[in-house]
Structure 1
């Protein structure tokens, strides 16, 4: 009987015990899930696509001037030189800090003789010897003895490299808070048997050993990127090497882009780089004023060749290229016979105290561009929405191609009306695919209009309707691309050629295209301007022409990259003279002075392993001067986060939409536009505009003066009008200086910090 009672009690207790254990397990599971979510969130905001909070600065080392001779000084800086190597030191009189182009006590570091010579020398050259081998020589390599002449503002040095017999003239000048470094083209002479290939100028200026000091390198990758001085378990053994304005396709081998959906590395569109030694203590930003068309930005993390972080530029006097010798593409690599002709001019701008960070760099560069006349704050930088619409797209058929009608011109006023009824009161419209034949395969021919999209009368009527509402209407175009088989150009005479005689071709989605010779682009563009005016068009959105730069070896109309810049600037200036406004897609800096809007602003960096942070450098430079627009929101995988990034970076939203379903594009070159129906996206468009208006509407025509990362995923952007915008990417509410910001939201703080 006792055993039966005991068994009943055990049976009664067991479910309670099991239930209690299961409850505990459930609580533990929930706790684990929360911790996992927090961990994932922490990892995400600690990734290099965000910016990290600043750490406390370590004490900076005391520099010395032993072995250096004072050249000149002003009330801001003092310049010193070591005459044997032409190494320089610059003392910042405001902070007392001494910048060095080399390394003190180099024998204490892991540097072999070759690296020591480069680190301590003003110049390092690569050259081609008589046997076709590439060799490197620094000033100290063969104990070259420079001839130096001091002057009131700096010095001039003549260097006759003993190993290669190559001659170089170097000028270093002190100007206010800047050092100007100049290598004139006529001062660079090949040796008797050796030919110069490339040159580095003061490559170790601002270098830092491992994490000995607090700071970072700045590189112009995407929106901007930092390489912090830190010890890391994931040391990178590869450097950042980026050609300014992208690779020169006059020398590169063709690459297929057929159905290529890989994320490409971001192109360098602005020729700058810099370093910070002690955040808010000491920094410099280098602007490459001349020679940038032949330049690259190099940034080495600690662990890549040496234990130092260093950033510099090098300049290509001769490019290597592939010379085919058969139709099967057999051949060999050779270097240019003739030297590229250009001056090198670098302006190193030093920053002190509160200005000494990436924000200060951007502000200083902004001021520099304003001084040059590239930027003017006469432009209207007000909250705006970009609505791009696809009219028609080419669709291949068995016998002939047809046009898939996606949006008609007469739809546009209705779309605008629907948006205005929902308080989207400031926008502009860009129409793609308006040319006869549709978006793809028709360039360089532009007129007449595709009849499935609309008539000339409907275009003029729509322009007038939107004009009454103060809504600019843009036609999308491209003055550089020419499709194989299209009319308006000669495939043998008018297309750009590589140095080996091959045409520059691309192949995407089964359509081959060329790049027009820049001189031909200018000729066609001037003719097109009259046609645009005839159709009542006062605004165009230009793709490719402002972002692509190459050397053209077309015998009838050849041009260097520097000459192409001049031709394109003439093109843009012609449209300005005709009263036609230009919006430009990802333009290089030399086109900024001609644009009224910057389209497809990069909002991230390239995600290189050695990069630690993404920063809005480009945005800070342009904010308050030129309106800029993010990439298309209907391509985004995380719209909530993308809108917050727009608000933080000062960018305006963009959508690429159609009247019809994107399913109709599945068998066209625009099949990458996988979701685009206006009716489906209208509410999201209204929501994004409303959020951006509530935030950036408070800082219209105002520049960014500071940016503080309070914690991972929480940033504050301070504007010159005293308004701060705090953005909280995290899933938890935060309070910053008495201002509470809800999770995944933003808050406005009047009066700045």
Structure 2
């Protein structure tokens, strides 16, 4: 009789042996199934309430904290910074194409690019070759040229598909100026086409929306990163900085931050999208926003400069900027690399109320935002490899593509006036006139009598019921208490006769729901079908709504005729000049591009029919405004930024007249005055005839210092000194700009040099003595 155990043992051994053989010969070659990473799926219960101010549902992958990476991970990347001659291959990247300035090398495995400057031999890498030890998702991200984010079913977590995850199929076609790659993820059934083309200035990347396919209803594209690690550095192995377009502009140095920064810079181009994004969390103690409102991104640009290689680039988002973010990660924010990129958003998630009283559920955007992706990378080298060179690149780009036309330069002092506001009474609201038309005339006459001949003024709150109660302005009816001895038509004619540029301010965005009641004009509703409220917590009105873009267009069309009938030639439009949002009408959703189309049509029409000013306009509107007012002079001062820079002034000075934000609200007016000298920006004041204490119980209570009698001498001094500086730089752009030990040296195209000393003590600079907290203007010597 055969022993059963004796038979089973060899059979089991053979089975195990076969299993090992199969694994060894086929396991490593088997394709990984494309799908979401193995993370717990969040549960969103209908009726549960999400925390206000939550993120878009993006979860950051778990990685070792920078201080836990170990000494070996802090070593240099050891990638060559220079190649003296053209190579057939660099780090596994084959030579693809070249022109007189640049060579492009590409690795088919991940579409990685290396750019080589033919004159200097400097090279810049777009992906990490040997990433620090991390989880698989971040490792693949660092090695990838294009990273796709996608949503799975009703899950609100965003997952990533890169150049490695799921073994995407790639078909690459080489062209005379670059290559085209078709990428397909079999399991996701998502595909797209990326075009990479060498240009005279660098290269550009395009992903046409009509080449993005979604053949499986379960998987939907959420966003796309384009060459996120172009110009990256690990810790402090490169010298230089990242440029972020935050307000006036700011720099993040390429350095080892010792893990002290946990969050990156991540802001929407052209400001946040209030149609989808959650508002800031408000303090329960004082009903005020506990954080300073960040500066907006006015222009779709970003940059990287490696000063030790004398090489850098300016990234310009040419298409897709209305649904794009600029993200910059200082080393230590998740991983020990410095990197900056554009991220394009095709779908977001948002809170959808489930009842009138309480409860929300998080849902995803139904349709993709409608745009192609197009980013260009214009390179700078040698003595142009700094942020001044980046500003010069952007100025050249704007002019050559006719996104702005030269409007010359001018010097005027801007003296804006507040007409009236209202305060809440026991029964009826009370009008508070602050500067009547006659008083406005007296202010202008006094200034001109004292030598201030060149004046620009925006008159706000001229309309019936004043600045806030009348929103939106729907008729040319002035506040009766402003018409004492003079009507507004008299003031307009008088200022015209005296060569004073007087503009009437018009907010084309906001609506006061408390005053307007039922109106035929629609308010903007967010994707969740709720009306948007801009919370201001004023003394009379707590919030304002936004007009539906079609309503803004209807009102502005009506007002155009009224302005013309009353011989008004100068209009300043605010609100729609620096706000964009997604919105819904019934069951339809419209993205920010639709809003942009409405606003640009309005602005273009007014530009054709009036002398037009736009308040702090987004860059897509720059060509329509005669001057740029409220130019940001600072950034948001994030903890990870190392230096504020005047990128916008460096770009626009000499091309279009620039006017600052209000001088009388600056904490350090002496330093602010020196910034005006340094950047060639005209001063601005917000003035009232009456003491601003009259505004204490109005929505204008933030105006705490504005009485003309306090500022008349200051306006005269600013005018005289800055006009003298202007006359020596008239018609010139800023050609060079350097900072050293508290002194800024600004060189203009006509040879004029301005030295600004921000230190309290006198300094010697270039053989000159510059007094403390002062400036000196000299001709090139």
Pairwise same-fold verdict (TM > 0.5):
yes
Instruction: State yes or no: 1:693 paired with 2:717.
Output: no
Alignment correspondent of 2:777: 748
> Within 5 Å, which residues of 2 pair with 1:272-287?
272-278=301-307, 281-287=310-316
- For 2:575 and 2:247, how far apart are their aligned partners in 1? 17
Contact 1:279/1:357, CA 8 A, preserved across alignment: no
SS at match of 1:252: coil
Instruction: State yes or no: 1:665 paired with 2:690.
Output: no
Alignment correspondent of 2:66: none
Give the C-alpha shift of residue 280 in structure 1: 8.2
SS at match of 2:394: helix
SS at match of 1:80: strand
- For 1:279 and 1:473, how far apart are their aligned partners in 2? 50
Closer/same/farther in 2, CA of residues 666 and 131 from structure 1, 3 Å limit: closer
Instruction: State yes or no: 1:463 paired with 2:492.
Output: yes
Give the C-alpha shift of residue 665 in structure 1: 0.6
Instruction: State yes or no: 1:164 paired with 2:193.
Output: no
Closer/same/farther in 2, CA of residues 91 and 443 from structure 1, 3 Å limit: same
> Within 5 Å, which residues of 2 pair with 1:170-249?
170-192=194-216, 193-232=218-257, 235-249=260-274
Between stretches 126-135 and 611-620, larger displacement belongs to: 126-135
Alignment correspondent of 1:617: 647
- For 2:750 and 2:80, how far apart are their aligned partners in 1? 34
Instruction: State yes or no: 1:73 paired with 2:93.
Output: no
Give the C-alpha shift of residue 536 in structure 1: 2.1
Alignment correspondent of 1:332: 361
String of CA shifts for 1:189-218, please: whole Å, max 9, x gaps.
Answer: 225121111110110001011111211000
Contact 2:302/2:316, CA 8 A, preserved across alignment: yes
Give the C-alpha shift of residue 668 in structure 1: 0.6
- For 1:656 and 1:92, how far apart are their aligned partners in 2? 50
Instruction: State yes or no: 1:548 paired with 2:590.
Output: no
Give the C-alpha shift of residue 469 in structure 1: 2.0
Alignment correspondent of 1:415: 443
Instruction: State yes or no: 1:367 paired with 2:396.
Output: yes
Which residue of the other structure, out of 351, 365, 380, is the alignment partner of 2:408?
A: 380
Closer/same/farther in 2, CA of residues 70 and 646 from structure 1, 3 Å limit: same
Contact 2:438/2:485, CA 8 A, preserved across alignment: no
- For 2:692 and 2:484, how far apart are their aligned partners in 1? 23
Contact 2:81/2:123, CA 8 A, preserved across alignment: no
Alignment correspondent of 1:292: 321
Instruction: State yes or no: 1:301 paired with 2:325.
Output: no
String of CA shifts for 1:523-545, please: whole Å, max 9, x gaps.
Answer: 21111111112222211122111
Which residue of the other structure, out of 427, 433, 436, is the alignment partner of 2:464?
A: 436
Alignment correspondent of 1:606: 636
Closer/same/farther in 2, CA of residues 259 and 439 from structure 1, 3 Å limit: farther
Closer/same/farther in 2, CA of residues 200 and 262 from structure 1, 3 Å limit: closer
Instruction: State yes or no: 1:518 paired with 2:531.
Output: no
SS at match of 2:584: coil
Alignment correspondent of 1:738: 767
Alignment correspondent of 2:62: none
Closer/same/farther in 2, CA of residues 59 and 706 from structure 1, 3 Å limit: farther
- For 1:612 and 1:173, how far apart are their aligned partners in 2? 34
Give the C-alpha shift of residue 111 in structure 1: 4.2
String of CA shifts for 1:656-710, please: whole Å, max 9, x gaps.
Answer: 1111111111111111111111011111111222222232332122111111112
Taking only aligned residues, the RMSD between alpha carbons, in angstroms, comes to 2.1
Contact 2:572/2:615, CA 8 A, preserved across alignment: yes
TM-score normalised by length of structure 2 = 0.85
Closer/same/farther in 2, CA of residues 677 and 61 from structure 1, 3 Å limit: same
Alignment correspondent of 1:400: 428
Contact 1:207/1:310, CA 8 A, preserved across alignment: yes
Which residue of the other structure, out of 42, 59, 81, is the alignment partner of 1:61?
A: 81
Between stretches 501-510 and 450-459, larger displacement belongs to: 450-459
Closer/same/farther in 2, CA of residues 262 and 600 from structure 1, 3 Å limit: farther
Over 6 Å off, 4+ runs: none
SS at match of 2:721: helix
Give the C-alpha shift of residue 330 in structure 1: 0.6
Between stretches 441-450 and 269-278, larger displacement belongs to: 441-450
Closer/same/farther in 2, CA of residues 131 and 248 from structure 1, 3 Å limit: closer
Contact 2:258/2:332, CA 8 A, preserved across alignment: no
Alignment correspondent of 2:387: 358
Contact 2:434/2:689, CA 8 A, preserved across alignment: yes
SS at match of 1:600: strand
TM-score normalised by length of structure 1 = 0.88
String of CA shifts for 1:451-486, please: whole Å, max 9, x gaps.
Answer: 111279622222222112211111111111111144
- For 2:524 and 2:484, how far apart are their aligned partners in 1? 34
- For 2:179 and 2:262, how far apart are their aligned partners in 1? 37
Alignment correspondent of 2:565: 534
- For 1:311 and 1:438, how far apart are their aligned partners in 2? 45
Contact 2:505/2:574, CA 8 A, preserved across alignment: yes
Alignment correspondent of 1:141: 165
SS at match of 2:606: helix
Contact 2:235/2:257, CA 8 A, preserved across alignment: no
String of CA shifts for 1:614-635, please: whole Å, max 9, x gaps.
Answer: 0000111110111121111111
Which residue of the other structure, out of 144, 150, 154, is the alignment partner of 1:121?
A: 144
- For 1:162 and 1:608, how far apart are their aligned partners in 2? 42
SS at match of 1:501: coil
Which residue of the other structure, out of 749, 752, 759, is the alignment partner of 1:723?
A: 752
Give the C-alpha shift of residue 164 in structure 1: 2.7
SS at match of 1:563: helix
- For 1:256 and 1:250, how far apart are their aligned partners in 2? 16
SS at match of 2:495: helix
- For 1:391 and 1:363, how far apart are their aligned partners in 2? 40
Closer/same/farther in 2, CA of residues 556 and 139 from structure 1, 3 Å limit: closer
Alignment correspondent of 1:34: none
Contact 2:753/2:779, CA 8 A, preserved across alignment: yes
Alignment: residue pair count: 689
- For 2:198 and 2:167, how far apart are their aligned partners in 1? 27
Which residue of the other structure, out of 565, 569, 579, is the alignment partner of 2:600?
A: 569
Alignment correspondent of 2:300: 271
- For 2:289 and 2:484, how far apart are their aligned partners in 1? 35
Alignment correspondent of 2:657: 627
Give the C-alpha shift of residue 163 in structure 1: 5.1
- For 1:715 and 1:280, how far apart are their aligned partners in 2? 24
Between stretches 325-334 and 616-625, larger displacement belongs to: 325-334
Give the C-alpha shift of residue 176 in structure 1: 1.0
SS at match of 2:671: helix
Alignment correspondent of 2:17: none
SS at match of 2:358: coil
> Within 5 Å, which residues of 2 pair with 1:420-499?
420-445=448-473, 446-454=475-483, 458-487=487-516, 490=519, 494-499=522-527
Closer/same/farther in 2, CA of residues 95 and 225 from structure 1, 3 Å limit: same
Give the C-alpha shift of residue 59 in structure 1: 12
Closer/same/farther in 2, CA of residues 382 and 234 from structure 1, 3 Å limit: farther
Closer/same/farther in 2, CA of residues 400 and 254 from structure 1, 3 Å limit: farther
SS at match of 1:553: strand
